[in-house]
Every structure is written in C-alpha cells, then in structure tokens.
Amino acid sequence: MPAAGRPAPYRTRPISGEDCYRFVKAAQRFLVVKRTPGISTTDLVGRMLLCTKNHFIRSLTRTLSGDEGAGSVDERSTAGKEMSQRIRDYASDDTGLRPGAFVLSWAESRSASEDSVGRQEAGSHKIMVDGPIPKPGQRIVYVDGGFDLFSSGHIEFLRQVAKAEEALARKSGWYDDIHIQKRCPEGKDDYGPAYIVAGIHDDEVINHWKGVNYPIMNIFERGLCYINSVIFSAPFTPSKAYLMNLPFGKPHAVYHGPTTFMPLTYDPYTAAKELGIYQQIGDHAFQDVNAGEIVQRILRSRQMYEERQKKKGEKTAGEEAVRRRELMEEEAAALEKERAANR
C-alpha cells in the first residue's frame, strides 16, 4: 500500500476539527514532505479579510539586494539571497537544472511606472536570470498585467495568446516539413513560433490603480505560465519608447484580454495600437475569474472560514476588519470616479 504524502508544515484539520489523515497516520503510512517555500492559503485569506498591506514589496531589486525589507542588515541580506535563489529555481526548465525563462527587471521613474498617459521613458533592464533568448523566426509577443492570485482567468488568457500565435504560424507554413527541416538540422529539437514576454507590475503600481490592499500577492509571490520571459516592475502603460526598447526588440504583437475587474477610464494600449501591433483576446469562459472575484467569494464565505479558524486555534478577522475593507473599497471607487470625471 503506498504512503500518503503532504507538504509540511501543513495543518490537516478540516472544519470538523478532526485530522483528515488520522487513519493514514494510524497505519503508519503518512509521510511529511518539505513544502515549497512561500505563503499559505491561510495567509492569503487573512490578507483579504484583514486588509493588510505589510506584504507589499516597494522595490523588488532593492529587496533582493538586501537594501530593503524587515530585520537587520544581515537578515535582509540573507533573505534577499534566498529570494534570488528561488527566482532562479522557479525560472528553471522542466529538468530543474537549466534556465527555462529569461528574467529581467525594468527600472525608471515611479511616475512612468504608474502613469496613465504612457510617459516616453525607455527605462533600463537588468538581467536577473540569463535564460533562453528568442530563436530564429520566432515572433516576439508582449503581454502585461498584475497577475494577482494567479487563476484560471490568467491561465486561459495566456493560453489563448499562445493559441492565437499557433494559428498564425500554421497559416504562414511554420509547421510545413521544409520549414521544420530548416529550423531543426541534424535532428535538433524544434521550438514554438512565439516568444512570449510578460511584464508584471509592481505592488505600488497595482495599488495605485486598484486601491484597497491589492495586490493580495506581492510581486515576488505571483506566478505565470505559457511564457518565455518575465519583466518585473513593468510600466502600467507600455509607451512607444518602452516597447521599442524591449531587450528582444520591438514586439510583433501586444496582447490584452477582457478587463472586468478594473474598468479603466483611459486606454493604456494607445502606443501599441499606433504601432499596429495591438491584438485583443476575446471573451472566454474564465474571464470573470480574477483577484476581485476571488476576494468577493472569500468574503461571502467569511463566516465558514472564521469557524474553521477558531477550531484550528487561529485568529479570525471579525466585523471590524470586514468594515475596514468595505471602507477601503468605497474609497477606491470614489477615486476611480474622480479620475473618470477629470478626463
């Protein structure tokens, strides 16, 4: 009989208060596996209910270098080195031994990062993980977003981007034998038609636009799939100067999907449209699954969550915290209304 494994530390008591692995443990078949470092579901739910912002990272590069963060100089330095190693680990390929994604960070003025008019600053890029670069013939594709509480909505958007590029490639003959032979002489491995670069916005930039205590996950904690490269701290509005000076050159396409969580009062993709490279991903089955919807689901289940936390001996949010979130959401809505009136 195989053993049952669970990442550790992990509490195995459901809402009933009974250990759901008690029978497996009694049979001496329970193994504890070291869990991936990071945050737990309980941490995330707590942030949603308590409206805390102490998980925000002001500058990822300064945090990684040990210049920012909690603790002493030595503690910050150690934490920064551990975080840097985790970025390298998570950016590895499917073997876990070689880089699988090219990771960079972008730096420019804060106003350029959060500006709604697309300040013409090319900025500068710093390599964090020196991964694979675009291969001959691949189209450079750019996407951006907060990707907070990475969910089926984000996954489907990125999948649709890859799917759209696959369709274009088939029309252009990318998968014809003659082209495959040119790309793969002497039995070399083939590769896809698109090199997808994802820009991820800073915590402060997201909070500037979404308010309350978004993002729920800080920039270090957010993940992605279906991509080849990541640019941390990407600007909210990709200006012409930014797009023309991406490390791999001007993108062939800039994709954007349905935006239901945060209706904007302006178009952040004006530059991409002027350059003739903007592409829109249409409606899909998971477009309403986003950070805002997930938070609302949790709030609707707050009572059940708090009962479970009490049985586990942990603190609960309480009415005061819930009311605090409501006030912060009202403030965010008022700010968005004011921005709309000033345009």
DSSP string, 59-110: -HHHHHTTSSSSS-HHHHHHHHHHHHHHHHHHTB-TTSSSB-SEEEEEE--H
pLDDT given for residue 335 in this prediction: 74
17-33: per-residue pLDDT in tens? Answer: 678 888 998 999 988 87
Q: What is the dihedral of CA 138, 143, 146, 149, to 10 degrees?
A: -60
pLDDT at 231 over 90: yes
pLDDT at 235 over 60: yes
Average pLDDT over residues 193-210: 95
pLDDT given for residue 7 in this prediction: 47
Percent of residues, the chain, with pLDDT higher than 70: 82
The closest of 308, 209, 326 to 263, measured between CA atoms, is: 209
SS3 33: strand
pLDDT given for residue 266 in this prediction: 81
pLDDT given for residue 327 in this prediction: 77
Residue with tokens 């089955």: 285
The H or E element containing residue 22 is helix 22-26
89-136: per-residue pLDDT in tens? Answer: 999 998 888 889 999 999 986 555 665 555 677 889 999 999 999 999
pLDDT at 238 over 60: yes
Residue with tokens 């013409």: 120
pLDDT given for residue 1 in this prediction: 40
On the 0-12 / 13-18 / 19+ scale of CB atoms within 10 A, 3 is exposed
